[in-house]
Chain A
């Protein structure tokens, strides 16, 4: 471990200048208020240790003329005030890998990258477990779901939150009787409850079309090919959608097809490798990257469309990979640039004007008028959902994923699209929750479940505080500037109980965020991908 620390740190060309900018963004620090968990503390302490080891080694080299054999271990330990490399690395491990610190750091230092190097040098059981998990995902998700549902006690404690997420999101999770009445599980029967219909003719409410025989949905033509649309597109769905929530994959495809671009069938991509890389499973990550790049090349280098911010970040990072003797990533520098330009979020292909808010009253009425037998089942479900005013009128919060914030400079396409959608006068109240990690944390979910839980609680506390403020402002915009006196809703030091929340829908644009938030949500808060709030014409057709 000592050698791993020294080697990993030697790859940083710059040192931490202790400015503290990372304190403003690090979820582990913000949720615990423990400064020793901040990126600044980790970098500073690891650097001090590595420096001491190096100077001890230098001293040893000077003495080596005497040819006495002294282990570096013994030397370094004597040079330092009782730092244990194991404890040092255990402290550094308390990180959820959101990569916000790298973005904030004027020196460009990254704790997650440093950790990946450390883990690669010293793999432990967690990494192996995580690697197994991701590489055998479909099988494990399915197995996990049965276990979570029917034999929760068999699960290792560390895996429970994650498996519960899987269970919540699995396509037919709602239809199974949920025996686990425990924390965080969303017990509502259906995860859809759309808020917007998508009709790229830019002309009509889908419900109207559905109700009119001579204007069947099949005839709806796309408004126009997007001016910026590339020649061909391909979805990169990611593990979350491929194994847990195929509905997202289907819907994303429908949206793309309806917008009139040439969509190639999705290649047999593997995991994006993001979590593998951070877990230190570098070989597996490299293998995944090589596989995915090869498929992209073989498919004629289409634009890769993602709806998961974490996948998008990981795919983007392929461009940082350098060719080595045993791994040829790029055929040329141009290809590397081409790749980077090809990774695009789904939302950037969609126009807000093609969406129409679904109103409880009108939608329900129009549906009743429809006589098409094929719509019956859907209509029943929809009507039930839509008549539930508490849902259609519930405020919606967009949780900005860390990886969007890091990639897009707080200006992601998903947020832009959603802001435009909810600007419609009939749309429910909408606000953006940015700057707080959900606590998913990749490998930390296995190795540091308690930290992940704390970060999730902190995230929910913030979302709920924001919801209170936003709804108060919406309710009385005139008085808020003049007379509103704000007093903290709770006494100092007493946190809002996570299980007593006012109804809220939280949407996001990252499979991992959705899984983590769904697993940790207070009871009457529904968590979805934004794809879930959109109803496509194709869904009426089926």
Chain B
């Protein structure tokens, strides 16, 4: 008798070309990478049935029809650069979900309870969407770009900039991450303080849902209030609602010029006060990055690489970029200088692209520099209301001192979003345990200040254990209900996100 396993493999082998289908059992070597992502957490290889790469929407629809019929988990994947395990197959349910054997109507009223947790989730199919990588249309009249989900964000930006257009969201991974992945995680970036995040640019999309239905929503209109905003519901949904096959994104006119200022301060408090003063003065920078004391210490270790001489009095710094019309920029920069001159002890200005690049290279070198302090890190991207930044950073410094750890703080302070790297040596059990405690304490402090545990990385699989710290049971029930209306049997990237 034919087993379900053979039936699935036969179906997939028929639906996909040889190069677009990996049987995880017969080619475990090729499939292994698909059990992980940039979170560095690896799922169970045995949780992987196959990897497929659809080329057409019809092919994808047929796959999702079959997967729903057979209750096979589906794990959408683009460049897999998320750091929270959003692409992992075989994540065991932390929060119990609908058992895959139950019909939707039977479970519709079921509350989330441990009793319904299936012992082992069945092996799933990773759907690599990388063949969907064409820019379909750039309209300089509509200020829109229409693209398939796996166009690399950096390439999309270059393509629109050639026509004097601008797609602002700039996650650090933009050279390799994709526009579809950016939408699924609602990626942010340094320019979010002025221009907002990915969500603010989604106008419309097409997606295939579990069961094979094809959804089209939104369009090229920059305003649209008819019904619920389904397109933006996909932002940050981490592949739990459907698989995006096409996106329409809003564009802006490309700013004529930009300039960057690096300002150093005596203390973290001085830096945060200066940040507030900049906004109060009516200046909205394109980026406003904060570097804490420990972060500057790391960068000083890398000094030879960036050729910057640190002023020894600098304990915290801001890197501020302004953009706009050439002439307006000169006036704006003068205003910024005036605001900063009150408190900063050191300033560096960059007006040419090459000079600016040198300063931003500094910002980018934080990650490699951090490993000069300790071999491992726990990385968080907490966000607090802008006014609570000082309180949050002070609390984090206290936690670091209490647990004798180096905790780096840096990032998009302009929108209250701080990257927190708890550096430690994981092979030292005691230190690892201190780091874990510090992480929890930090999270509780942030939530107590009205903050969020993630400003841009998302929840994925690795933060699910903490989800109840932030979301109420009502919120989670509503979210599960929304998912159910897209995906009645819960096959889409199960046990992640909410």
User: B81 touching A19 by the CB < 8 A rule?
Assistant: yes
Which A residues from 455 to 489 make CB contacts under 8 A with B? 469, 473, 480-488
Q: Which residues of A contact B56 (CB under 8 A)?
A: 493
Q: A41-B32, A45-B33 are in contact. Are A35 and B130 (CB under 8 A)?
A: yes
User: B141 touching A485 by the CB < 8 A rule?
Assistant: yes
The CA of A18 and the CA of B80, in the complex, are separated in Å by: 9
A292 close to B (CB within 8 Å): no
User: B135 touching A483 by the CB < 8 A rule?
Assistant: no
CB distance from B354 to the nearest CB of A (A): 11
User: B135 touching A83 by the CB < 8 A rule?
Assistant: no
The CA of A77 and the CA of B80, in the complex, are separated in Å by: 29
The CA of A88 and the CA of B159, in the complex, are separated in Å by: 37
CB-contact partner of A106 in B133, B159, B368, under 8 A: B368
A84 close to B (CB within 8 Å): yes
Q: Which residues of A contact B318 (CB under 8 A)?
A: none
Closest to B41 in A: A18
User: B136 touching A488 by the CB < 8 A rule?
Assistant: yes
Q: A18-B40, A24-B152 are in contact. Are A33 and B33 (CB under 8 A)?
A: no
User: B81 touching A20 by the CB < 8 A rule?
Assistant: yes
The CA of A23 and the CA of B174, in the complex, are separated in Å by: 11
Of the candidate stretches B21-29, B289-297, B426-434, B479-487, the one touching chain A is B21-29
The CA of A103 and the CA of B310, in the complex, are separated in Å by: 27
Q: Which residues of B contact A18 (CB under 8 A)?
A: 36-40
Q: Which residues of B contact A482 (CB under 8 A)?
A: 140, 164
Closest to B148 in A: A492
The CA of A20 and the CA of B173, in the complex, are separated in Å by: 8
The CA of A170 and the CA of B137, in the complex, are separated in Å by: 44
User: A20 touching B27 by the CB < 8 A rule?
Assistant: no
User: B134 touching A488 by the CB < 8 A rule?
Assistant: yes
The CA of A18 and the CA of B33, in the complex, are separated in Å by: 9
CB-contact partner of B30 in A19, A21, A36, A485, under 8 A: A36
The CA of A492 and the CA of B58, in the complex, are separated in Å by: 14
CB distance from B103 to the nearest CB of A (A): 34
The CA of A493 and the CA of B51, in the complex, are separated in Å by: 20
Q: Which residues of A contact B138 (CB under 8 A)?
A: 485-487
User: A20 touching B29 by the CB < 8 A rule?
Assistant: no
Closest to A487 in B: B137
User: B33 touching A36 by the CB < 8 A rule?
Assistant: yes
The CA of A245 and the CA of B29, in the complex, are separated in Å by: 43
User: A473 touching B162 by the CB < 8 A rule?
Assistant: yes
The CA of A36 and the CA of B20, in the complex, are separated in Å by: 11
User: A40 touching B173 by the CB < 8 A rule?
Assistant: no
Q: Which residues of A contact B28 (CB under 8 A)?
A: 81-83
B31 close to A (CB within 8 Å): yes
Which A residues from 37 to 52 make CB contacts under 8 A with B? 38, 40-41, 44-45, 48
User: B137 touching A488 by the CB < 8 A rule?
Assistant: yes
User: A91 touching B29 by the CB < 8 A rule?
Assistant: yes
The CA of A35 and the CA of B164, in the complex, are separated in Å by: 33
A328 close to B (CB within 8 Å): no
Binary contact track A493-520/B, C-beta < 8 Å → 1, others 0: 1000000000000000000000000000
B345 close to A (CB within 8 Å): no
User: B140 touching A484 by the CB < 8 A rule?
Assistant: yes
User: B137 touching A486 by the CB < 8 A rule?
Assistant: yes
Which B residues from 4 to 26 make CB contacts under 8 A with A? 19, 22, 25
Q: Which residues of A contact B39 (CB under 8 A)?
A: 18
B110 close to A (CB within 8 Å): no
Which A residues from 80 to 123 make CB contacts under 8 A with B? 81-84, 87-88, 91, 106
Q: A20-B176, A82-B28, A483-B140 are in contact. Are A493 and B33 (CB under 8 A)?
A: no
Q: Which residues of B contact A493 (CB under 8 A)?
A: 55-56, 131, 134
Closest to B159 in A: A486
Closest to A469 in B: B162
Q: A44-B33, A485-B139 are in contact. Are A492 and B134 (CB under 8 A)?
A: yes
Q: Which residues of A contact B137 (CB under 8 A)?
A: 485-488
User: B130 touching A45 by the CB < 8 A rule?
Assistant: no
Which A residues from 421 to 458 make CB contacts under 8 A with B? none
A17 close to B (CB within 8 Å): yes
CB distance from A195 to the nearest CB of B (A): 26
Binary contact track B122-136/A, C-beta < 8 Å → 1, others 0: 000000101101111
CB distance from B50 to the nearest CB of A (A): 13
B45 close to A (CB within 8 Å): yes
A71 close to B (CB within 8 Å): no
B34 close to A (CB within 8 Å): yes
CB distance from A16 to the nearest CB of B (A): 9
Q: Which residues of B contact A67 (CB under 8 A)?
A: none
User: A484 touching B134 by the CB < 8 A rule?
Assistant: no
User: B29 touching A40 by the CB < 8 A rule?
Assistant: no
Q: Which residues of B contact A20 (CB under 8 A)?
A: 38, 79-81, 173, 176-177
Q: Which residues of B contact A219 (CB under 8 A)?
A: none
Which B residues from 181 to 199 make CB contacts under 8 A with A? none
Q: Which residues of B contact A33 (CB under 8 A)?
A: 53, 128, 130-131, 133, 150
The CA of A35 and the CA of B128, in the complex, are separated in Å by: 8
The CA of A488 and the CA of B136, in the complex, are separated in Å by: 5
The CA of A480 and the CA of B163, in the complex, are separated in Å by: 6
A331 close to B (CB within 8 Å): no
The CA of A126 and the CA of B351, in the complex, are separated in Å by: 53
CB distance from A514 to the nearest CB of B (A): 27
CB distance from B375 to the nearest CB of A (A): 10
User: B79 touching A23 by the CB < 8 A rule?
Assistant: yes
A34 close to B (CB within 8 Å): yes
B266 close to A (CB within 8 Å): no
CB distance from A496 to the nearest CB of B (A): 12
The CA of A296 and the CA of B287, in the complex, are separated in Å by: 52
User: A492 touching B140 by the CB < 8 A rule?
Assistant: no
User: A19 touching B133 by the CB < 8 A rule?
Assistant: no
User: A34 touching B19 by the CB < 8 A rule?
Assistant: yes
The CA of A40 and the CA of B38, in the complex, are separated in Å by: 10
Q: A19-B81, A488-B137 are in contact. Are A87 and B130 (CB under 8 A)?
A: no
Question: Could you jot down 23 A-B contacts, CB within 8 Å?
Answer: A17-B40, A18-B38, A20-B173, A24-B154, A33-B130, A33-B131, A33-B133, A34-B53, A36-B22, A36-B34, A38-B33, A40-B33, A82-B25, A84-B29, A106-B367, A480-B163, A482-B140, A484-B140, A486-B138, A488-B135, A488-B136, A492-B134, A493-B56
Further contacts, 17 of them, CB under 8 A, given A23-B79, A36-B34, A84-B29? A17-B38, A18-B40, A20-B173, A23-B81, A24-B175, A33-B53, A48-B42, A83-B28, A83-B32, A87-B27, A88-B29, A106-B368, A469-B162, A480-B164, A485-B141, A486-B138, A488-B136
